[in-house]
Amino acid sequence: MTMPAGTYYVGDLCYVMHERWNEFCDITIKDRECLNGEFVMKDGTRFATYSTKWGDGSYTDQLGKDYSVDAGLIGCVLIEDLDLEAEGNFVRGGQVVQFDEPFDTWRDDGMIRIGHLSIDTDPSFDDLDEGYADGDDY
């Protein structure tokens, strides 16, 4: 399934789908397993969601943009399908991105791809804090 062109929230969907979180979980969790891919809610809202390699934290795309994660996932949903006035919803944990053409989404091990974005959720040891890489304890 290809996602249509438009303006999207890209990030942890728990930040923007607060009031629909139960339905989100009903769709994306089966037998205690989190499913990855593109999905459609009862009201027609399309979204994509992919588990991060190492769960919660902060991850960066190839453009240097940060994505905060509190539900162990990164995905995308059209801004027009969100109620940003609803209690608990906010876009500051991710990015608002314009996709001018339909795009694909997928996950390849720890790399989440959403259109032209590549979000690395399995950073190499070299990407970690220098002090840690030098063997210093925290």
pLDDT tens-digit readout, 31-43 = 989 999 999 999 9
pTM (2 d.p.): 0.88
Per-residue pLDDT of 6-21, as tens digits, reads: 999 999 999 999 999 9
Give me the percent of the chain exceeding a pLDDT of 70: 90
Per-residue pLDDT of 82-97, as tens digits, reads: 999 988 899 999 999 9
> For residue 59, what are the contacts with CB-CB under 8 A and spacing of at least 6?
52, 66, 67, 69, 74, 119, 120, 121, 123
- Amino acid symbol at 22: N
pLDDT at 126: 53
Tokens representing 16 are 């923007």
33-to-46, 56, 82, 137 alpha-carbon distances in Å: 20, 17, 25, 35
Q: Do 7 and 96 contact (CB within 8 A), yes or no?
A: yes
